[in-house]
Amino acid sequence: MSGVYKGARYQTAMQELGVSAFLEKPFTPGQLQSAIDQALKKSEMAEVTPAAAAPRASSFDRYLTQAFLHSLSGELTLNDGQVSRQLLLVNGAPVSLRPGFVHRDFGDYLLRQGVINDAEYQYYAQSGEFRHNLIIQMGCLHYHELLEQKFSYLTQELLAGFAFPAMTAKFQPLTLPPGLQVITINLAEIILQGLRSTWTPARSAAYFSRIKDHYPVKTPDYFRHINSLRLSEAECALLPLLSGAQRTASSTAGNAELFPFLFLLQSLGMIRCSATPTTAADAPPWPLRGLFNAPVEALEENSEWGKLESFNDLRDKSHQDAVPTPAVTAAPAEGGSAVAATFARLQGKNYYEILGLTQERFSFNQLKENYFARSKEFGPDLLMRLGGTEAAQAEEIMAMFANAYETLSDVVKKEKYDQLFGAETIGLGHKGDERFRAEIQAQSGKVFIDMEEWDNAEKTLKDACAIEPDNGDTLAHLAWAIYRNPQYAASRPTLDRAKQMLNRAITMERTAPAFAFKGWILIDGGQEALAETEFNKALKIDARNTLARKGLRKIQEKREQEKKGIFGRMFGG
């Protein structure tokens, strides 16, 4: 029962979550009596024929999407047949979950993280009645650390829920004061991450078959949610194509990794799939400073870098003949033998051979032509006709094509690949190939550090460290990216772990950047003398290290200011 008008969509959404009736003021006593009578009749029917009145189960992502879309407030009880969980929502955002999908509750999560001990957890769960402020009162966490841990718990538990089978739900609404806003987890981002992690080839094939001939177009709600999402480069590149002018089949180019993102956009009403070409929504009614996920603009063809893209100016005139495209036969509808043969043939091949090219006779145009020809042959249409091992092999073949194209179509990546090409065999699964990937990720991470894009730097450097865990230079840059990331500025445990990581990196490999990073961390701690020592170590290895030189200038400037202050006090009036 609510005194705030929500509209028919809100009522429908709550009924889908198990609410028998929803009344909005003003209503008559007769309407209230009728709603009660109907609810009692349903209850009587449930006692006589419980199977017929059983609520319908649905997937976890559907419940979260409905709650988010309709800004539901109240308690959502989820039942998977074994455990009943209470998820508390405020304006569509989860604020509490007990028990969780992985942990018993938030206290159990802290217990397993080593933040609290057994005695503290027992008090929290029993006498404390799960009150979070006890964690602060017991001296276990600072307030900002408690918020960080709570958001981490909710995020991990909700993502774990995506892997659970369909659940039934009951919703008990709660009326909140108008205008109440609670800062909590980014539910739209969590739904996208959950869809990415649980999306299957079968779901891709089914979804693609439904939308491939439709024209996806942005709606006004697109601007409401798009800045809440962190997208991949491929997803960002897709956004300009959602204009209502292209079919899904052409705008996605058969890239199955885009389908979870498209599904989310459609579920949140950010796009609609039109049967005919149409036009996208205009700008939102509010002032729009920018879109965080705007794709990077392509380089102009007549620019200095654009001219280098084709590599024609780097090759001998005699090598500019087109390389013929070897025929690749995809699997017929009734079998997957050709897919298996292609999969076996590509094992151990280098990136040039995968796309039917050679290092000596390379053409960017031919690269692009070969890549799209193969992508078309092993795209979603083929996946829909295959199953089991053949479908998995077709997906892996597409991944091989994508990795090869991504490397050879980039000037810097291709140059590095060519450098490694002669050192040892670079084929799928070979040691040299992994080393190349690690180096590319490390170099990308360092570029992100220079651009102060700390999230991207952390991600790519973690990937590099996963491939080469003994690389001290990469580990040092990862520690620096974590330390400088503003989102960890208030997290003392995270900053301490970054410092420990940097020290471990220095024991593995003494590099100029590592000593420079350590020097700046010491400056932040007010230890200029120790910082000066670290900067000098860095410059002894590399006299041109700009970070170390900048640190020494900062220390010198501070000392000069202190001298001026002393003289001012001595001789000033």
Say if 19 falls within a structural domain. no
CA dist., res. 394 & res. 339, Å (int): 6
CA dist., res. 261 & res. 455, Å (int): 20
354: pLDDT strictly greater than 70: yes
**Helices 431-450, 411-421: crossing angle, 10 deg rounding:** 150
pLDDT confidence bin for 394, thresholds 50/70/90: confident
pLDDT confidence bin for 425, thresholds 50/70/90: very low
Handedness of CA 244, 247, 249, 253 (dihedral sign): negative
- The CATH number covering residue 371 comes to 1.10.287.110
Cβ-Cβ contacts under 8 Å for 448 (sequence gap 6 or more) = 454, 456, 457, 460, 481
Say if 292 falls within a structural domain. no
Q: What is the pLDDT of residue 387?
A: 67
Say if residues 194 and 159 touch (Cβ distance below 8 Å): yes
Closest CA to 371 of 345, 405, 335: 405
Say if 297 falls within a structural domain. no
> How confident is the model over 2-47, as pLDDT tens digits?
555 556 666 666 666 667 777 777 778 888 888 888 777 665 544 4
Q: What is the pLDDT of residue 35?
A: 83
75: pLDDT strictly greater than 90: yes
Residues pairing with 455 in the sheet: none
Greater model confidence, 568 or 137 = 137
Domain hosting 346: range is: 311-426
Looking at the fold, whether 72 and 135 belong to one and the same domain comes out as yes
Q: How far is CA 275 from CA 256, 261, 270, 463, in A?
A: 21, 20, 17, 41
Say if 288 falls within a structural domain. no
Looking at the fold, whether 421 and 445 belong to one and the same domain comes out as no
pLDDT confidence bin for 447, thresholds 50/70/90: confident
pLDDT confidence bin for 320, thresholds 50/70/90: very low
311: pLDDT strictly greater than 50: no
Say if residues 80 and 164 touch (Cβ distance below 8 Å): yes
Closest CA to 385 of 330, 440, 442: 330
Looking at the fold, whether 458 and 407 belong to one and the same domain comes out as no
Question: Helix and strand tally (H, E) in the chain?
Answer: 27, 6
Looking at the fold, whether 468 and 555 belong to one and the same domain comes out as yes
94: pLDDT strictly greater than 90: yes
Say if residues 461 and 469 touch (Cβ distance below 8 Å): no
- Exposed e or buried b for every residue in 397-432, given b needs 16+ CB within 10 A? bbebbbebbebbeeeebbebbeeebeeeebbbeeeb
Say if 49 falls within a structural domain. no
Handedness of CA 98, 101, 107, 110 (dihedral sign): negative
- The CATH number covering residue 465 comes to 1.25.40.10
280: pLDDT strictly greater than 90: no
CA dist., res. 135 & res. 154, Å (int): 17
Say if 327 falls within a structural domain. yes
Lowest mean pLDDT among 38-47, 262-271, 544-553: 38-47
pLDDT over 70 for what percent of the chain? 79
Q: Is the peptide bond before 55 cis (omega within 30 degrees of 0)?
A: no
Which residue pairs from 50-56 have beta carbons closer than 8 angstroms and sit at least 24 positions apart in sequence?
54/168, 55/18, 55/168, 55/169, 55/170, 56/168
Structure tokens at 425: 């065999």
User: Which of 178, 211, 237 marks a domain boundary?
Assistant: 178
Q: What is the pLDDT of residue 116?
A: 92
Pairing of strands 215-218, 168-173: unpaired
Cβ-Cβ contacts under 8 Å for 11 (sequence gap 6 or more) = 22, 24
Closest CA to 463 of 437, 433, 485: 437
Looking at the fold, whether 342 and 439 belong to one and the same domain comes out as no
Mean pLDDT calculated for residue range 38-59: 60
Say if 124 falls within a structural domain. yes
Looking at the fold, whether 154 and 248 belong to one and the same domain comes out as no
Q: What is the pLDDT of residue 306?
A: 36
Q: What is the pLDDT of residue 528?
A: 85
475: pLDDT strictly greater than 50: yes
User: Which of 145, 178, 211 marks a domain boundary?
Assistant: 178
Q: Which amino acid is at 556?
A: Q
Q: What is the pLDDT of residue 124?
A: 92
Q: What is the pLDDT of residue 490?
A: 84
Lowest mean pLDDT among 69-83, 166-180, 505-519, 552-566: 552-566
> How confident is the model over 148-196, as pLDDT tens digits?
889 889 999 999 999 899 999 999 998 888 778 788 888 999 999 999 9
Q: What is the pLDDT of residue 337?
A: 62
Lowest mean pLDDT among 393-397, 441-445, 454-458: 393-397
Say if 290 falls within a structural domain. no
pLDDT confidence bin for 312, thresholds 50/70/90: very low
Q: What is the SS3 assignment for 163?
A: coil
Mean pLDDT calculated for residue range 340-358: 82
Looking at the fold, whether 266 and 316 belong to one and the same domain comes out as no
Q: What is the pLDDT of residue 11?
A: 65
313: pLDDT strictly greater than 70: no
253: pLDDT strictly greater than 90: no
Mean pLDDT calculated for residue range 537-545: 89
Q: What is the pLDDT of residue 45?
A: 43
Structure tokens at 51: 């199977």
pLDDT confidence bin for 226, thresholds 50/70/90: very high
Looking at the fold, whether 438 and 553 belong to one and the same domain comes out as yes
Say if residues 16 and 72 touch (Cβ distance below 8 Å): no
CA dist., res. 375 & res. 400, Å (int): 10
CA dist., res. 389 & res. 533, Å (int): 59
Residues present in the chain in total: 573
pLDDT confidence bin for 572, thresholds 50/70/90: low
pTM score over 0.75 = no
Looking at the fold, whether 319 and 368 belong to one and the same domain comes out as yes
pLDDT confidence bin for 352, thresholds 50/70/90: confident
Lowest mean pLDDT among 158-162, 299-303, 388-392, 525-529: 299-303
- Mean pLDDT (the chain) is 80
Looking at the fold, whether 353 and 477 belong to one and the same domain comes out as no
pLDDT confidence bin for 83, thresholds 50/70/90: very high
pLDDT confidence bin for 274, thresholds 50/70/90: very high
Looking at the fold, whether 456 and 495 belong to one and the same domain comes out as yes
Greater model confidence, 547 or 397 = 547
Q: What is the pLDDT of residue 324?
A: 45
Q: How far apart are the first and last CA of the chain?
A: 74
Greater model confidence, 167 or 469 = 167
User: Which of 426, 443, 475 marks a domain boundary?
Assistant: 426
Structure tokens at 78: 């989820």
Q: What is the pLDDT of residue 15?
A: 64
Q: How far is CA 383 from CA 22, 376, 392, 561, in A?
A: 45, 11, 9, 69
Handedness of CA 519, 520, 521, 527 (dihedral sign): positive
Looking at the fold, whether 437 and 419 belong to one and the same domain comes out as no
Please give the tally of structural domains in the chain. Answer: 4
Cβ-Cβ contacts under 8 Å for 215 (sequence gap 6 or more) = 244, 245, 246, 247, 248, 273, 274, 275, 276, 277, 278
Alpha-carbon dihedral angle through residues 37, 42, 43, 49, given to the nearest 10 degrees = 150
Say if residues 325 and 369 touch (Cβ distance below 8 Å): yes
Closest CA to 396 of 373, 378, 414: 378
